[in-house]
A and B are shown apart, each in its own frame.
Chain A
């Protein structure tokens, strides 16, 4: 057991737990942030994506012990920002959401991309979301959503 100090969506936490527990489980079970999804549990699907110190990671692959002093942003945090709202609107208009299971992870990957590259090409958008699987949409509408977010949200990132 150890005490892990870290922040989630701007709120500080000190959690007493086994450092080997997965960040995914801490977020979903201890902090009830169920916008973070578990699809595969082995790094393949991206449904569990969050930002760790601004960098896109798969929370199913991260032991909480490596999160000491870090800032985590989950879909619940992204949703409250102007950038997050722009992404949500663009996805909605593009028909990028069907069952919605992949959507939070897709949006985290979109945010990570736009922070690094505010006006991506279609190819760059596909590469940035290549670790996120969707079983419904066939991806084109999601990529439209990313490009629309970049265009509409110009200046936000």
Chain B
């Protein structure tokens, strides 16, 4: 690994200059001739039926081209029932009936000559409803929670081994607590955007999407268009965090409008629609029961989650899965239950499952360590599992202990006093907290096409793949992998992604993007080199480079397309990335104000493909974790089902002043199983368990244990 020249190097983003100069076009920024503008009409009730829609006044307004509602919408075939497998790609017919299932549901699209005209007219559409009392309040309906057949990503709903009830009776110390994490929203900077353009039977879509292929398939299935006729372009994306993983309804509305009007249509949704129409992280109520013996051995762990989903679709994030693998637990029970509400369907939100789940687990572990009077780092190390406790599979790589030890040392953990309130400075109570973090490390099949050319002995390469860069650094990592494996300078590599007509990839999601893209590039580079070697009939003193071969064989152009796949043996191992977080907090107790001047994270995620972009990913995750811990919460009005935190002035993401120094350390780790390059994901690891480290530090500072996020001033008074 260490002899890598490009892979791992902290290379700045190769597209960075374009972005800061405003020259990188995002989905809304493609000039299209004769464009018209769509603006959605939204329901103002959460449950019931539309009894009448009066568009007469809206239609009279200057510039209005058409108002599409369920009354005049294109008739579409009903979609299949939603499953984990088809969730992103199934036919998802919009505007087919008068039912309202959540507040803010799109019930129409106004198309006009300008954006402002469309927006104005949308507000003049008068809708009459037969409203029902919506099911919103968590406490009111939680008792109805049922056992779903399966949860997100195909994880089993329930797992158990041993006997938790008996083990809890045997335990010297028992903990039984409930943790609540609120609804959160993704809020990427760039709003969701579609431009849709039909040319004959060919359809071009400019869309802010993490997943080109799924977007294409979803549109194809919904409108019965051969997917070969659809091209999805998404060269630059201003963040997604899971909210841009599937073709959302604004895109389907825009396709419908473009088809009906025979004219290109562009729809950019508002920040308010980003609360109501592109998914959310659901409120999770997690009950943890834990038992340990005096020596600090965990005897039992039960992690039972209740959450909500929409009326028309079941989506359950894998909140408890982290409790299945983190510690050596001889008696385990992990369950998920869900109930239906008139709240929009939840969606993958950065590290779905592990983010809320790790808050509960890692808070509870801290509580248990305190009850045992044990150092929480030592307590964790004592319960390190040799194999994945869930299935006995060996770890492909697991360096959690190294993360904990290195982190503790670099942070100065030994200065922490176990007793809360023992460190005071003026009006500030100072506390230290920590947590272990983990996130599944998926790796997926991906393809690439590599074209090399030789112009007067200057050899350059173009890498083409239907990959996306959601601000994570894909462009750069792909270029680094190609430069490394082709033996060419980085600036001789051109990366072409963000186009669904290029060789397929799994897109950017689930932290598999970077590893899958880079492995595909590595595999295809090697394939290309081998092919060239067999073509060139020359002797070389040492192993020839791609450039040597091109020049020696006088080959002007050569291309190779290939695919990297998970190895057959991969499934025999457990694949996870690990980290440890350490937080220092200062609490001004009389006003409930918390500062986090210092946060330190140690990460072991196999080969780090680019130390700079990886660091940014982890830092971004930590910042979001600070948001989860301290500020982020989407509030609903139970009577109406509307969000009252509708803007970024109400939904608080952390500001610069909330974020102190974030120190990220990557530990060397070799993983020979996961993929060609030994790279595990880092995108979601960074947020996992951050909130627990902070809440644990707040406890250490004040003696107050906050089990309901976020930790706003009122909760500390």
Q: Do A and B bind each other?
A: no
Q: Which residues of B contact A (CB under 8 A)?
A: none
